[in-house]
Amino acid sequence: MNGTVFDSTASALELIGVSKVHPGPVAALRSVSVTIGTGEFTAIVGPSGSGKSTMLAIAGTLERPTSGSVRVAGLVVDGLPDRALSGVRAGRIGFVFQQFFLIPTLTALDNVATGLLYRGVPAAQRRRAAADALAEVGLSGRAGHRPAELSGGECQRVAIARALAGRPAVILADEPTGSLDSAASAGILTLLAELNSRGATILVVTHNPEIAGAASRVIRLRDGRIKQDSEAS
Amino acid sequence: MSGVVTGRAEGRAGGRAALPVSRLRAADIWPLALLGLVSRPARAALSAVGVALGIATMVAVLGVASSSQAQLVAQIDALGTNLLTVAPGQSFGGQTVTLPPSAPAMVARVGPVIGAAAIGDVNAQVYRNDRISPANTNAITVYSADAGLLRTLQGQLARGRFLNAATARYPAVVLGADAAAALGIDRTGVQVWLGNRWFGVVGIMRRLPLAPELDRTALIGDPVAQRLLHATAAPVQIYVRANPASIAAVAAVLPATADPAAPQNVSVADPITALTARADASVAFQEQFLALGAVALLVGGIGIANVMVIAVLERRGEIGLRRALGARRLHVAVQFAGEATLLAGCGGVAGAVLGGFTTTVYAAARHWDAVVPVPVLLAAAGVALLVGAVAGLYPALRAARLVPAEALRL
């Protein structure tokens, strides 16, 4: 860890008094403070418009809060220039989205390898890491298939492998089962729990009560505030 | 956690540790740029057509010009640069004057002159036969000619023979290449209606590069012109072949030699100069085609920019994803600018091949050697890449400016 500003002993993610006010002014988040420890499997639940997605975007440095402070693996990201935030995302955060966002012309393996593209890792090394990540989500046999040849559940597994490939401090998942049928959803749920048991830190935004049930911690948001935290600190 | 990419040192936490940076390897840029083209090959091909046509036009125009110039140089080398023409000019008062009938003989006597041959005015028209309306002259001029004319011009016959001492006395005619074509005659032994008499065609000339003005003429012998058609024997033009080393000196003495009484009425010209001027004129003509190619390139560039703007709109999700994976704005911009450049580059290569092919076909049709200069091909590739880079700039900036959270619809 020499030469980096990340602190491996720190919490994976910290939001301190984070507010987000959209012009209007409509408050999407109101003074939210939450600490996600390394190794946690946390679900954020709440009705539409409660600020879940805004919270995920701010935690993932895709959006800046109006006020408050965010730390990723110990690094205070407030006020960092865009290029440094990109570096934080490339090195410390893995994203999983409801729509998978796989690149249709690339094979599953190359899609996963794209997760390491912006780290400056040589292609051969990216593919090796991608093969490992694909094995972890149980899709080694599908490495050469393109997204169109994969089921929805398999596509989401590829996307999870892509987030996993860089061994991020935290995986942020936005409605990962939102586009899947119940059987595929259950498979993804099992996978997330498994990855968590092997040490991955996971923060999921979801409507799915089963995912919420599988998580070790559930945070309920309402009107931009934390209404309930099963592990209130 | 190994493999953390470190960058420039910037004191933030701890004072000396480096902020995280995202890096895109140079080796990854072109595969990335290719991705968009591969995903929509038909669209890519169609949008590259404009640039391909522009480049093809430019390469073909320059290739044809180079081939033509190479041909001209070879032609001049083959014909020699030692030909002069002597013609009556205009008198001081502006009236047309004539050369004395003795002028050809006088000119031939100048030391360095190797050969001289004259053509003389004949007041007659030539027709395919006696049933043709007199108004239908086909713009063919009838001249009397010396037997040595063809040799002096280093001209060649397509058919038959040139006039000689014998045929010059009888109603025999040699036709220029264009005159023969206009009359519809492609062989000797037929008769044409010339000056209200039948003349037998004894020869048909090939085109005369040094005297294109003779391509649309009918040449008859001096004696027959004077005897049957009442020609005056006044030369209208004398072709002079001289020792190349003394060509300037010969040109200087020709006026006084041809018409000692009125040397100021004699005009001496150098057909090689005319030939070179013609080449220059054809280059000027080519500039218009080059401009046309430039317009095609411009339109092609706009087409690529247009397609890329659409691609950016369609691929918002991919752009958002890449930003989430750690791509900087610059990386996104480079990807789309690279894609546009690659697109135009492919168009440029296709255009260069097409232009080279066009040049080859055109040159082959004219029996030239095809010449496509390598600098032209390199310039074509450079221009195509430049067009692509410029066309890709705006779409690239639009892609880079997308807000990641909005692009991902988070």
Whether residue A5 and residue B318 make contact (CB cut-off 8 A), yes or no, is no
Is the CB of residue B6 less than 8 Å away from at least one CB of chain A? yes
Whether residue B12 and residue A120 make contact (CB cut-off 8 A), yes or no, is no
Within a domain: A181: yes
pLDDT bucket at B65, cuts 50 / 70 / 90: confident
Within a domain: A68: no
State the pLDDT at residue A195: 95
**Please, which residues 15-54 of chain B have a Cβ atom closer than 8 Å to chain A?**
17-25, 27-28, 32, 35, 38-39
- pLDDT at position B77 over 90: no
Handedness of CA A97, A99, A101, A104 (dihedral sign): positive
- What is the 3-state composition of chain A as percent helix, strand, coil, each rounded to the nearest 5? 35, 25, 40
DSSP state of A150: S
Task: Name residue, tokens 């110990």.
Answer: A74
**Please, which residues 105-134 of chain A have a Cβ atom closer than 8 Å to chain B?**
105-106, 114-115, 117-123
Of the candidates B13, B23, B39, the beta carbon closest to that of A119 is on B23
Q: Which residues of B touch A97 (CB under 8 A)?
A: 321, 324, 408
Whether residue B4 and residue A4 make contact (CB cut-off 8 A), yes or no, is yes
Handedness of CA B323, B329, B331, B335 (dihedral sign): positive
**Structural domain of residue B352, as residue ranges?**
28-75+277-407
- pLDDT at position B146 over 80: yes
Phi, psi of B127 (to 5 degrees): -130, 160
Stretch A98-111: mean pLDDT, rounded? Answer: 95
Within a domain: A171: yes
Three-class DSSP labels, chain B: CCCCCEEEECCCCCCCCEEECCECCHHHHHHHHHHHHHHCHHHHHHHHHHHHHHHHHHHHHHHHHHHHHHHHHHHHHHHCCCEEEEEECECCCCCECCCCCCHHHHHHCCCCEEEEEEEEECCCCEECCCCCCCCCCCCCEEEEECCCHHHHCCCCEEEECCCCCCHHHCCEEEECHHHHHHHCCCCCCCEEEECCEEEEEEEEECCCCCCHHHCCEEEEEHHHHHHHHCCCCCEEEEEEEECHHHHHHHHHHHHHHHCCCCHHHEEEECHHHHHHHHHHHHHHHHHHHHHHHHHHHHHHHHHHHHHHHHHHHHCHHHHHHHHHCCCCHHHHHHHHHHHHHHHHHHHHHHHHHHHHHHHHHHHHHCCCCCCCCHHHHHHHHHHHHHHHHHHHHHHHHHHHHCCHHHHCCC
State the pLDDT at residue B284: 63
Is the same domain home to B166 and B308? no
Within a domain: B336: yes
State the pLDDT at residue B13: 42
Whether residue B317 and residue A121 make contact (CB cut-off 8 A), yes or no, is no
Within a domain: A2: no
Whether residue A119 and residue B19 make contact (CB cut-off 8 A), yes or no, is no
Whether residue A121 and residue B3 make contact (CB cut-off 8 A), yes or no, is yes
In this predicted model, what pLDDT tens digit does every residue of B260-318 receive, in sequence order? Answer: 888 888 888 887 776 676 666 666 667 888 888 899 899 999 999 999 999 999 999 99
C-alpha B352/C-alpha B384 separation (Å) is 10
User: pTM for the complete prediction?
Assistant: 0.71
Q: Give how far B280 is from chain A: nearest CA, Å.
A: 53
Is the same domain home to B158 and B196? yes
Q: Which residues of A touch B27 (CB under 8 A)?
A: 122-123
Whether residue A4 and residue B322 make contact (CB cut-off 8 A), yes or no, is no
- pLDDT at position B16 over 60: no
* Average pLDDT of every residue of chain A: 92
In this predicted model, what pLDDT tens digit does every residue of B357-368 receive, in sequence order? Answer: 999 999 999 888
CATH code for position A132: 3.40.50.300
Interface with chain B: mutation pick from A44, A62, A82, A162, highest number of B CBs within 10 Å: A62
Q: Which residues of B touch A167 (CB under 8 A)?
A: 1
Is the same domain home to B156 and B193? yes
Which region among A17-26, A174-183, B37-46 has the lowest average model confidence (pLDDT)? A17-26
Within a domain: B51: yes
**How many domains are contained in chain A?**
1
**Please, which residues 45-104 of chain A have a Cβ atom closer than 8 Å to chain B?**
53-54, 56-57, 60, 62-63, 74-76, 80, 82-84, 86-93, 95, 97, 99, 101, 103-104
Size of interface A-B (CB pairs under 8 A): 146
Percent of chain A residues past pLDDT 70, beyond the cut: 97
Q: Give how far A143 is from chain B: nearest CA, Å.
A: 18
Joined tokens for residue B90: 């205009």
- pLDDT at position B62 over 80: yes
Within a domain: A168: yes
Task: Name residue, tokens 């247009």.
Answer: B306
Is the same domain home to B188 and B57? no
* Average pLDDT of every residue of chain B: 87
Within a domain: A27: no
State the pLDDT at residue B217: 94
Within a domain: B87: no
Within a domain: B335: yes
C-alpha dihedral over B400, B401, B403, B406, to 10 degrees?
Answer: -90
Q: Confirm if B164 and B147 have CB atoms less than 8 A apart.
A: yes
In this predicted model, what pLDDT tens digit does every residue of A25-69 receive, in sequence order? Answer: 777 899 999 999 999 999 999 988 888 989 999 999 999 999 999
Phi, psi of B206 (to 5 degrees): -75, 170
State the pLDDT at residue B281: 64
Of all residues in chain B, the one with the smallest CA distance to A112 is: B325
Three-class DSSP labels, A88-118: HHHHHEEEECCCCCCCCCCCHHHHHHHHHCC
**How many domains are contained in chain B?**
2
Stretch B177-190: mean pLDDT, rounded? Answer: 92
Within a domain: B80: no
Which region among B33-42, B96-105, B111-120 has the lowest average model confidence (pLDDT)? B96-105
Q: Which residues of B touch A158 (CB under 8 A)?
A: none
Report CA-CA distances (Å) from B301 to B87, B288, B304, B340, B363: 54, 20, 5, 9, 30
Burial category of A117 from C-beta neighbours within 10 Å (exposed 0-12, middle 13-18, buried 19 and up)? buried
Is the CB of residue B408 less than 8 Å away from at least one CB of chain A? yes
C-alpha B33/C-alpha B26 separation (Å) is 12
Whether residue A63 and residue B6 make contact (CB cut-off 8 A), yes or no, is no
State the pLDDT at residue A216: 92
State the pLDDT at residue B8: 41
Phi, psi of B114 (to 5 degrees): -85, -35
Half-sphere exposure of A219 (CA within 13 A, CB side): 24
Is the same domain home to B294 and B205? no
Q: Which residues of B touch A53 (CB under 8 A)?
A: 410
Percent of chain A residues past pLDDT 90, beyond the cut: 82
- pLDDT at position A99 over 70: yes
Q: Which residues of A touch B20 (CB under 8 A)?
A: 4-6, 75, 84, 87-88, 90-92
Within a domain: A143: yes
C-alpha A83/C-alpha B17 separation (Å) is 16
Whether residue B23 and residue A118 make contact (CB cut-off 8 A), yes or no, is yes
Is the same domain home to B140 and B183? yes
Is the same domain home to B213 and B297? no
Whether residue B325 and residue A114 make contact (CB cut-off 8 A), yes or no, is yes
Q: Confirm if A165 and A156 have CB atoms less than 8 A apart.
A: no
Is the same domain home to B110 and B188? yes
State the pLDDT at residue A3: 54
Is the same domain home to B369 and B244? no
**Structural domain of residue A90, as residue ranges?**
38-61+84-229
State the pLDDT at residue B324: 97
Is the same domain home to B65 and B156? no
Whether residue B324 and residue A89 make contact (CB cut-off 8 A), yes or no, is yes
C-alpha B217/C-alpha B163 separation (Å) is 14
Which region among B76-90, B205-219, B243-257 has the lowest average model confidence (pLDDT)? B76-90
Is the same domain home to B251 and B108? yes
Q: Give how far A212 is from chain B: nearest CA, Å.
A: 19
State the pLDDT at residue B344: 95
List Cβ neighbours of B250 (8 Å cut-off, separation of 6 or more): B84, B110, B112, B113, B240, B242, B243
- pLDDT at position A182 over 70: yes
Is the same domain home to B103 and B170? yes
Stretch B59-70: mean pLDDT, rounded? Answer: 86
Taking Cα atoms as reference points, which of B94, B92, B93, B118 lies closest to residue B104?
B118
Instruction: Name the packing angle between helices B271-314 and B316-324 (round to 10°).
Output: 70
State the pLDDT at residue B278: 66
The neighbour count for residue B287, using CB atoms within 10 Å, is 11
Q: Give how far B8 is from chain A: nearest CA, Å.
A: 10
Of the candidates B5, B321, B322, the beta carbon closest to that of A120 is on B5
Within a domain: B9: no
